[in-house]
A and B are shown apart, each in its own frame.
Chain A
Amino acid sequence: MPTDTLIEITYLVATALFILSLKWLSSPTTARHGVWAGEIGMALAIGGTLLYQGIVDYKLVAIGLVLGCIIGVPLGKVAMTAVPQRTALSHAFGALCVTLVGTSEFYLRAPNISPFMMAVLSMEVILGSLTFTGSLMAAGKLQEVLPQRPITYKGQNFVNLGMLALAIAIAVILCLHPEQMKLFPAMIIIPLIFGVMLVIPIGGADMPTVISLLNSYAGLSAAAMGFVLNSKLLIIAGALDGSSGFILSVIMSKAMNRSFTNVLFGGFGQIQAAAAGVQEQRPVKSATAEEAAAILSAASKVVIVPGYGMAVAQAQHKVRELFDSLTKRGIDVTFGIHPVAGRMPGHMNVLLAEADIPYDKLLDMDAINGDMAQTDVALVIGANDVTNPAARTDASSPIFGMPILDVDKARTVMVIKRSMAAGFAGIDNPLYYLDQTLMLFGDAKNFVGNIVRELSGGDGHH
């Protein structure tokens, strides 16, 4: 069999394995098979490529592969709390690879490039370079080496759209006149700056949407690279990644009742300024760990609502102890997970799974909201805006219309919170002033730990 055919067959099998890989990921029981299928497909495709007769320099390839492994292994072993920034970083790496390959292809082929080829190549490098810097910015914000607060200035959208338009204009010129090779660097540099400017106005709570969107761009740029190289395997892998990122972006935007454009161009800056003016002091009821433990032990159904604050306080292992202690008393404990809780899609599920909480106790918003009225205690840990009933009732609220976890329908609501300071978006939460709400002031990890201690101390009373 000719080598070329053999290579194409390895690609074909790899493609099938990639699709199966995603199919098996649909359920936790088969998900690990999905990883294996992906790994086998990847090994086949790389092995097949190495047979390619045009390869004369195996040394560089080997250096690249070995260095990649050396960098990749620690990136695969980061702590679960660091997964959002790791994911953003890997989007940056993927986009970097695509941009570099696109750049090389341009200089190898120009000026003999057809308009269509130049169009996809432009799409590849524009999407690739803006995803590269955008993802680096997102990773920096998530790692907190960059300021997390959104930075906005007057005319921001005008500047951003202007830059994007300029990059596209250059792409159009290059399509018509590919011999204008000196324009090409500008088509990379402008999107590189655009990527930075795009993420500057985006705050922490919008990160799940932005990471998903960057994921989608990374996939699309890889698919464009597939068109340039005429590689079906790459087109399919890029399309799968692109649609995955797109679906997640849609889910995240819906969960915040915002459009893509609103996330990208809206910013939350204006809202903060508006909300800061109407701070008023209203009475809240607070409770101690002992009282909280007494209420919890008298309950028969408890729903725990975790948010990013739980991740910040590293409270997930204490939450697991609480879960154990309540479950042992025969209390039904489930978790209500809002789609945008945390800093990336599914963030809370991974943290709670790491703490050994069985995944069948982790319910998404639609599954848990129906049970809320039969719930004795809803315990909110480090979540704020996703529990704000104003989203349902107050048409003037900036988050009006956003689907929320209806914790206010539970008989008792307990909220663990550091202080009465407003949440990320600076929006006051009427939940805290309800009759059935008790505020538990303190650090999430310590407070949950204290409740667990009270519960185990109180065993004799039953």
Chain B
Amino acid sequence: MRQVRHIFKKEFTAYFISPIAYIVISIFLLITGWFFFTPFFLYNQANLRNFFVLLPTVFSFVVPAVTMRLFSEEFNVGSYEILLTMPVTFRDVVLGKFLAAVAFLATMLLPTLAYPVFVSFLGQLDWGPVLGGYIGAILLGAAFSAVGLFASSLTRNQIVAFIIGMAVCFGLTLIDKMLFFLPHSLLGFFEYLGADFHFQNISKGVIDSRDVLYFMSVCFVGIYGARLAMEQRS
């Protein structure tokens, strides 16, 4: 676990050394801010629904951009060789990088806490859904990070990693909206696969173990996939 901590620390600070962090955070705040506040005064309701409804779609683009460099850059520069010849295991590397990405997403969400504070001045804000929404956002971000991490472990090209990650995340977001194409018997299964479906459940303020389990499973599959990809390379 000690090694996970060191790798986490290095990866997390690496985000803030390069301009990536600042660009991604700015774009994220710009998009969510715009789409949240534009209809906010039209609906005239003191809640954060609009912010959370949009989050899975925004995360589908933002999270792969955050995770794309995690492995691809190391493969490309060759520092992967240096990393793996130090006394670390595959598990240490994967977990350290994964946690760094999740921590970065949490940092990115931090400024948006200004929204509920702002809204609470305007009207009677129900803090339950807000709290649920933020817990859901972290779970969703973690699941997408795992997907992005796996995409990054497949290729040395960051753009390819981004596109693969985005395609999978976007697919998971949209899948439960395309159910009318599918036969009735498969509906339940595909609905369960949809990240948006589970996220919207949580962001209503109801933290159901099925939804949490879903996000945990996606994390596990992504992390395990990245680990297998690392093993494949050695």
* Bound together: no
Listed in ascending order, the chain A residues whose CB lies under 8 Å from chain B are none
Listed in ascending order, the chain B residues whose CB lies under 8 Å from chain A are none
